[in-house]
């Protein structure tokens, strides 16, 4: 028995030494933290842990790695303007448009209103413009700014102003919807809201009524005020409607395509045109709708329409900035774009002309007459005339046609004689 004791002790010592050799050494120096902004992976997190605690922290390390990757992906999407760079042009994070609200939302001339704007670039000048919607019944090249402000560091601003009675041209502002557009100086960022304007009425003289004797006062019970119910918070939509026009400039007949989003899923979006500092049509007429589209399940839409060259009242559209308004029924949601309307390029007028080859000759000479500037696909005739002499009698008969031809699609012709 005594001879076995040293053998057992030696075996135990060897087992302990082997176990110690298999265990990874504990790092003696602290692992330097990763550089700021660098992404940690689960492998880096578990490599610095002792073997005895690695299993207990594996789940936490995986969560940290996944969260880090999600933050990096979100940053890439935000840097791309709300578009996932790996997925083409399909937006994965919906675009946030600027927003504007007016308080109060209706009134007449002299009403003091306050426009609250959000979502604009920080520390940037913004201006307030007024536009009237075109109705069924001379636009300035640069609309008048009715108020201006500089946004704060969060892109917010407040623009108070008093509603005028007339447009800058002196024309009275008629009863109807006015669009209040808040925009940066280049109109790159903009938001709008609608104001129900009531034109002031001229007071009429009323006959003075004879004074009436008030009846004696009677004791009446003072009514007990009933507290009004506390209004519930209306959920604010996460995104603001927006619309962009393509192209942003052109003349009458230009085909416009509007791309928008941030509207309600399946909402009907109507498109109207507005004129800055002016109203087109009767104040009692209905707003003229130029296009309508149903938004998709995500609130996005694309619609095209042709820019007219005349207003519904027959007047010619003058060059200048026009407002394109996209809105749902009753202006519950709305967004706008700006279009620079250009004067149409005049069609060049070509005076009719003729050439003869050869330019001189005697009887029997074959000549060729060619020319252009005539209406297309129209018969033209060749006549001969001599200069009137002092002893010549005026010819009363219709002149004779010596040759004829039909012009082509460009109004050109060739005939031989």
Same-domain pairing of 99 and 83: no
Q: How far apart are CA 91 and CA 83, in angstroms?
A: 5
Q: Which of 63-72, 201-210, 269-278 has the highest mean pLDDT?
A: 269-278
Q: Could you give the 3-state DSSP secondary structure of residue 297? A: coil
- Higher-pLDDT residue of 140, 371: 371
Question: Given pLDDT bands bounded at 50, 70 and 90, which one contains residue 131?
Answer: confident
Query: DSSP strand E in 134-223: where?
Result: 147-150, 157-162, 176-184, 190-198
Q: What is the dihedral of CA 279, 284, 285, 288, to 10 degrees?
A: 50
Angle at 286 between CA 260 and CA 110, to 5 degrees: 90
Q: Decide if 40 contacts 66 (C-beta within 8 A).
A: no
pLDDT for 194: 86
Rounded CA separation 208/270 (Å): 50
* Domain assignment of residue 219, yes or no: no
248 and 364 share one domain: no
Is residue 138's pLDDT more than 50?
A: no
| Whole-angstrom distance, CA of residue 182 vs CA of residue 185 | 10
Report yes or no on 229 lying in a domain.
Answer: no
**327 vs 46 pLDDT, higher one:** 327
Judge whether 271 and 291 are in contact, CB under 8 Å: yes
What b-and-e string marks burial along 25-63, b requiring 16 or more CB atoms within 10 Å of the CB?
Answer: eeeeeeeeeeeeeeeeebeebbeebeeeeeeeeeeebee
Q: Which of 60, 77, 92 is the last residue of a domain?
A: 92
The reply to whether 86 and 98 lie within a common domain is: no
Same domain membership, residue 402 and residue 283: no
Residues 172 and 48 in one domain: no
Do 297 and 392 belong together in one domain? no
213 domain residue, yes or no: no
In a domain, 232, yes or no: no
Rounded distance between C-alpha atoms, residue 234 and residue 245, angstroms? 31
One domain for residues 190 and 297: yes
Pick the more confident residue, 301 or 9: 301
Say how far apart CA 144 and CA 165 lie, in whole Å: 15
Please report which confidence band the pLDDT of residue 39 belongs to, taking 50, 70 and 90 as the band edges: very low
**292 and 382 within one domain:** no
Average pLDDT of the residues in 309-336:
90
Which residues, 6 or more positions from 266, have their beta carbon under 8 angstroms from its beta carbon? 294, 295, 296, 297
* Domain end marker among 49, 65, 92: 92
**354-403: pLDDT as tens digits:** 888 998 888 888 999 999 989 999 999 988 876 655 555 555 567 888 88
Q: How sure is the predictor about 209, in pLDDT bands with cuts at 50, 70 and 90?
A: low
Q: pLDDT confidence of 296, banded at 50, 70, 90? A: very high
175 and 284 fall within a common domain: yes
pLDDT of residue 160 exceeding 50: yes
Same domain assignment for residues 245 and 102:
yes
According to the model, what pLDDT value does residue 347 have?
Answer: 67
Contacts (Cβ under 8 Å, ≥6 apart) of 117 = 98, 99, 100, 126, 149, 151, 156, 157, 158, 159, 182, 191
pLDDT for 269 equals 95
Distance CA(274)–CA(288), nearest Å, equals 10
Domain that includes residue 61, residue range: 40-92
**H helix or E strand, kind and range, residue 11:** helix 5-22
Asked whether residue 76 carries a pLDDT value surpassing 90, the answer given is no
Which of 346, 381, 403 represents a domain boundary (last residue)? 346
| Number of domains observed in the structure of the chain | 3
Of 334 and 35, the one with more pLDDT: 334
Tell me the CATH number at 245: 2.60.40.230
pLDDT of residue 239: 75
At residue 257 the predicted structure's pLDDT band, cuts being 50, 70 and 90, is: very high
Please enumerate in sequence order all residues whose Cβ is within 8 A of that of 51, keeping only pairs 6 or more positions apart, or say none: 23, 24
Kindly state whether residue 18 falls inside one of the protein's structural domains: no
In a domain, residue 12? The reply is no
Residue 181 to residue 128: CA distance in whole angstroms: 6
**Average pLDDT estimate for 116-130:** 91
Reported confidence tier of residue 225, pLDDT bands at 50, 70, 90: low
Residue 326, pLDDT score: 94
The verdict on 60 and 156 lying in the same domain is: no
Comparing 169 with 285, the larger pLDDT belongs to: 169
Tell me, yes or no, whether 133 lies in a domain. Answer: yes
At 56 the pLDDT is 41
pLDDT per residue as tens digits for the range 77-110: 344 444 444 334 444 444 567 899 999 989 998 9
Q: What is the pLDDT of residue 11?
A: 54
pLDDT at 170 over 50: yes
- Integer-rounded Cα radius of gyration of the chain: 41
- Answer whether 155's CB lies under 8 Å from 119's CB: yes
Residue 23 lies in a domain: no
Assess whether 155 and 281 both reside in one domain: yes
Residue 12 pLDDT grade (very low, low, confident, very high; cuts 50, 70, 90): low
User: Helix (H, G, I), strand (E, B), or coil: what is residue 375?
Assistant: coil
Mean pLDDT, the chain, whole residue set: 74
Q: Are 226 and 217 in contact (CB under 8 A)?
A: no
The predicted pLDDT at position 298 comes to: 92
What average pLDDT does this structure show over 9-19? 51
- Is the CB of residue 288 less than 8 Å from the CB of residue 272? yes
């Amino acid at each position: 028995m005594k001879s076995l004791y040293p053998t057992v002790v030696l075996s135990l010592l060897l087992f302990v030494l082997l176990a110690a050799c298999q265990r990874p050494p504990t790092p003696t120096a602290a692992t330097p933290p990763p550089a700021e902004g660098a992404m940690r992976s689960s492998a880096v997190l578990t490599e610095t842990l002792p073997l005895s605690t690695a299993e207990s922290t594996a789940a936490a390390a995986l969560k940290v790695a996944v969260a880090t990757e999600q933050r990096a992906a979100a940053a890439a999407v935000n840097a791309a303007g709300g578009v996932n760079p790996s997925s083409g042009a399909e937006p994965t994070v919906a675009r946030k448009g600027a927003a504007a609200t007016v308080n109060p939302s209706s009134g007449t001339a002299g009403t003091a209103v306050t426009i609250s704007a959000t979502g604009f670039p920080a520390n940037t000048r913004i201006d307030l413009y007024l536009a009237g919607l075109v109705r069924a019944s001379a636009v300035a090249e640069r609309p008048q700014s009715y108020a201006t402000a500089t946004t704060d560091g969060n892109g917010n601003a407040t623009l108070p102003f008093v509603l005028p009675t007339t447009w800058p041209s002196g024309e009275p502002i008629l009863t109807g919807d006015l669009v209040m557009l808040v925009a940066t100086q280049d109109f790159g960022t903009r938001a709008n809201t609608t104001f129900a304007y009531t034109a002031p009425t001229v007071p009429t003289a009323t006959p003075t009524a004879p004074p009436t004797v008030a009846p004696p006062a009677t004791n009446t019970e003072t009514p007990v005020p009933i507290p009004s119910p506390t209004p519930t918070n209306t959920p604010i939509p996460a995104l603001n409607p927006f619309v962009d026009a393509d192209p942003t400039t052109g003349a009458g007949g230009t085909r416009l395509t509007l791309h928008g989003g941030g509207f309600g899923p399946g909402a009907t979006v109507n498109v109207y045109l507005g004129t800055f500092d002016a109203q087109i049509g009767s104040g009692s007429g209905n707003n003229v709708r130029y296009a309508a589209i149903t938004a998709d399940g995500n609130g996005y839409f694309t619609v095209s329409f042709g820019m007219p060259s005349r207003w519904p009242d027959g007047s010619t559209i003058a060059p200048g900035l026009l407002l394109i308004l996209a809105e749902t029924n009753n202006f519950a949601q709305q967004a706008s774009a700006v279009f620079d309307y250009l004067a149409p390029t005049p069609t060049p007028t070509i005076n009719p002309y003729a050439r003869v080859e050869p330019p001189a000759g005697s009887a029997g000479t074959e000549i060729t007459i060619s020319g252009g500037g005539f209406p297309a696909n129209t018969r033209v005739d060749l006549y001969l005339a001599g200069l009137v002499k002092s002893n010549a009698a005026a010819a009363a008969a219709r002149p004779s046609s010596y040759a004829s031809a039909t012009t082509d699609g460009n109004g050109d012709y060739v005939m031989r004689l």
